Structure 1
Amino acid sequence: MWFKISIAMLAFAANSVLCRLALAEQQIDPMSFSLLRVGSGAVALGLLYVLFQVQHPLQFQWKSALSLTIYILGFSLAYLYIDAGVGALLLFGAVQITMISYAVWQGERMTWPRWTGLGCALLGMCLLLLPEADAPTFKYALMMLVAGIAWGFYSILAKNMQHALTATLSNFLFGLPLVAMLFLWHLPDSFISLNGVVLAVLSGALASGGAYVLWYSIVKKIDGITASTVQLSVPSLAILGGVIFLGEQLTWLMLFASLIVLCGILMVILAKPRV
């Protein structure tokens, strides 16, 4: 079980590195990357669906598919100007805040340690967005936050998935024409290289499609606190990947802000809700 979880988290972090490597190095434009990512993910999942002779029918849920599409587009556009580690931190911070806010809206009562943790996480994100801190511009940081909110809703809706493979395949198939329409709208600005295609396909087929199925096949077998906590490893893994593969620089402020965000999220997750 823990081996599968580790593979899923590494895949999530790899998505950040692959996207940043493809876009920041001008290997491909964001819309082409998104289209290839969704298309290759759909193809890979379709092959698995056929090879394993899955009997469960496809279930199209437009809310899940729309959330996935918004996440993928925001994710790709934001990584034009955001480092892999910072992007992952903003993304998963927004995911946690979205899921916590939804729980509160649904009537779950929060303890003071959880409110304190949420405040710390917001403070850390604000530090990351300070212009003098070599942080991402507000526009692209906002895109990443929107992507995180969309992924948060996708994760919430995923709790109702009856079959991980068919549900994920359905969402990719539903999202494909949406991304294709936006791609055609931006067609004059598109550019593609072979390296860009390879990176997009790796992101879509392995780090997205395959990883999402793997994650949702195990997330219901572990408790919610464990499921949330293990995802906190993704920003750290992405920062490490950015340093190793992209030559990105670590700053003391980035480390300090990251520590505040991670400690805040940990406080929210580990604090027991009020009965």
Structure 2
Amino acid sequence: MTAPARRWAIDFVLLAAIWGASFLFMRIATVEFGPVATAALRVAIATAFLLPITLLRGQGAQLRARWKGVALIGVFNSGLPFLCFTFALLSITTGLSAILNATVPLFGALVAWVWLKDKPPAARLLGLAVGFAGVAMLAWDKASFKPDASGVAPGWAVLACLLACLSYGVSANAAKRYLGGLPALVTATGSQIGATLALALPAAWFWPARMPGAHAWLALIAVGVLCTGIAYILYFRLIEQAGPAKALAVTFVIPVFAVFYGVLFLGEHVTGWMLVCGAVIVCGTALSTGLLKPGGKA
């Protein structure tokens, strides 16, 4: 393996491990902060981390010139998805949430088809069908809309995860259409600023009555700095070094780490059905994005 290939391979594994941990940290924080405050503080901490880096790199002028559009996309790229996942993690496991998160490229391809008229070829259409069949299989297993001990029904939690993935798909296509030419760091920073502004008032309204403990605060700092700020830098470096297709493939590895962390640190149970459905979703996603080509070179 050449030195450049070794560098991006290390970044790839490290990014998957970091993003896989985000579900663990969100779960720990949400128990004490609640979903709204957790999502709001995550993006606020990420903003505090990314903004000085953007300014030090001399990209502040570009951020000021395009901040409204970037901030609006940030609501759908970070604010709404993070809120949906923190809500879902009150009821379902971190592993299940991460498996559902692997459908982001599916929704991205579907939104591009419907909105941008970017119709995928037959193999990718097959991938969409396979991927969403896997989602249906997984969701059917959690189809109960009766609240559990957390007060949230598993069915609503699954729908919240899928709404988050749809939001990611919309924001990715919106960024492609309206934010072309902007440096990736500017987009990342502006999106966190937009999400912070959108969630500030709801977070103040739903702020926990009792001050959360140190454990929850440390989890929030980790998810804000490590899983959002540093992860974005790694992601953009991976795109630069290995290309967007390889960077996109990190989505398939995240559930492996998330399931591992959930079992190790939270004592979560992984069923065979979850693994089967996860494999179907990953295969469908790989087909729909062109990373897996029937009869061709993957």
Query: Do both proteins adopt the same fold according to a TM-score greater than 0.5, normalized to the shorter chain?
Result: yes
Q: Quick one: which amino acid aligns to residue 111 of structure 2?
A: Y
Structure 1 residue aligned with 2:158: 141
| Cα distance, 1:181 vs structure 2 | 0.8
2:58 corresponds, among 54, 61, 85, to 54
Checking the alignment, whether the CA contact within 8 Å between 2:59 and 2:186 is kept in structure 1 is: no
Checking the alignment, whether the CA contact within 8 Å between 2:142 and 2:158 is kept in structure 1 is: no
Structure 2 residue aligned with 1:10: 17
Q: 5 Å matches for 1:106-185?
A: 106-131=116-141, 137-159=154-176, 160=180, 162-185=182-205
> What is the total number of aligned residue pairs between the two structures?
268
Inter-CA distance 161–150: structure 2 relative to 1 (3 Å threshold): farther
Are 1:98 and 2:107 an aligned pair? yes
* CA–CA separation in structure 2 for the residues paired with 1:4 and 1:134: 39
Which is worse superposed, 30-39 or 41-50?
A: 41-50
Are 1:43 and 2:48 an aligned pair? yes
Checking the alignment, whether the CA contact within 8 Å between 2:15 and 2:250 is kept in structure 1 is: no
Are 1:197 and 2:228 an aligned pair? no
| Runs of 5+ unmatched residues, structure 1 | none
Structure 1 residue aligned with 2:73: 64
* CA–CA separation in structure 1 for the residues paired with 2:118 and 2:169: 17
* CA–CA separation in structure 2 for the residues paired with 1:218 and 1:255: 27
| Cα distance, 1:219 vs structure 2 | 2.0
> Which TM-score applies when normalising by structure 1?
0.86
What per-residue deviation string (whole Å, max 9, x for no partner) do you get for residues 60-109 of structure 1?
A: 1233222121112112111111211110111221x112211133233434
Give the secondary structure class of the aligned counterpart of 1:41. Answer: helix
Give the secondary structure class of the aligned counterpart of 2:270. Answer: coil
Are 1:22 and 2:29 an aligned pair? yes
| Cα distance, 1:200 vs structure 2 | 0.8
Which is worse superposed, 197-206 or 117-126?
A: 117-126
What per-residue deviation string (whole Å, max 9, x for no partner) do you get for residues 142-196 of structure 1?
A: 1111111122233334443622223222222222121111112223667522211
Are 1:214 and 2:219 an aligned pair? no
* CA–CA separation in structure 1 for the residues paired with 2:143 and 2:222: 32
Are 1:271 and 2:293 an aligned pair? yes
Inter-CA distance 143–191: structure 2 relative to 1 (3 Å threshold): farther
* CA–CA separation in structure 2 for the residues paired with 1:218 and 1:157: 21
| Runs of 5+ unmatched residues, structure 2 | 1-7, 146-152
Give the secondary structure class of the aligned counterpart of 1:227. Answer: helix
Checking the alignment, whether the CA contact within 8 Å between 1:41 and 1:204 is kept in structure 2 is: yes
> Which TM-score applies when normalising by structure 2?
0.80
- Sequence identity (%): 22
Inter-CA distance 181–111: structure 2 relative to 1 (3 Å threshold): same
Give the secondary structure class of the aligned counterpart of 1:187. Answer: coil
| Cα distance, 1:11 vs structure 2 | 1.8
